[in-house]
Amino acid sequence: MDSDLSIISMHLLGALAAGGIIGMERSIHARPAGFRTHTLVCLASSLLMLVTLYQWKWLPGVPMDTIRTDPTRMAQGIMTGIGFLGAGVIFKEGLSIRGLTTAASIWITAAIGILMGIGFYLPAILATVLTLGVLSAFRWIELRLPSQVYAHHALRFDRDDVMSEADVREFLEQHGFSVANISYRITDDGAFFEYRMVIRTTTPENTVKLAEALRSMPRLRTFRISPSGD
């Protein structure tokens, strides 16, 4: 009995440590699911796998050769349930989608908890280290990779004083942007004409410069620049 308690304690403490380490990285970056969330996810996954691992403890008097439970079904149930929790941290902020990386980190934390629960310590520890590497080191690499920045852009003019589309495209090109797609709209009251478009650039600093240039245009009634992100 003492030996079983020691093993169970090792499984749970290992899950507690792994989940806490990953969650701490998320908390440092002010993510919606942080230290406590990841710790509880990993601990719960380990605990549920222990239920399967020690099924003979909670089925007393039943011969083991008569039990035909599949331990992988518990793992499948855990990962399915974690999907709902992961979806809860994905949210729309303006026109951007946030929380995808945090949802992925919750999912991998649950997997690590499963490994801790069945006593696969080496792969669980390796997975923890690799996860921290992806969340930390890969962030540094990602920031230095050449990539295009997209933004949702809207311009509003008086209906009788509209800047031509050709001039709009030329103006954006002068500030380092190209137009990915464009749509047109007249407001419900018929007083204004709007361009709505998705623009892109390889230099994020161009967004500030574009906003300053648009602010100085007297014929422009309103504008909006909403950078999109993962």
The confidence score (pLDDT) of residue 230 equals 47
**pLDDT averages per 10-residue partition of the chain, 230 residues:** 76 85 78 74 82 65 58 75 75 64 83 85 86 79 73 93 93 93 90 93 88 93 81
Q: Is the pTM of this model over 0.85?
A: no
The confidence score (pLDDT) of residue 142 equals 66
**Residues 130, 108: Cα–Cα separation, whole Å:** 10
The confidence score (pLDDT) of residue 20 equals 84
The confidence score (pLDDT) of residue 56 equals 61
The confidence score (pLDDT) of residue 212 equals 94
Of 213, 156, 155, nearest to 179 (Cα)? 155
The confidence score (pLDDT) of residue 169 equals 94
The confidence score (pLDDT) of residue 10 equals 85
Q: What is the three-state SS of 52-120?
A: HHCCCCCCCCCCHHHCCCCHHHHHHHHHHHHHHHHHHCCEEECCEEECHHHHHHHHHHHHHHHHHHCCC
Query: Hey, what amino acid is at 109?
Result: T
The confidence score (pLDDT) of residue 76 equals 77
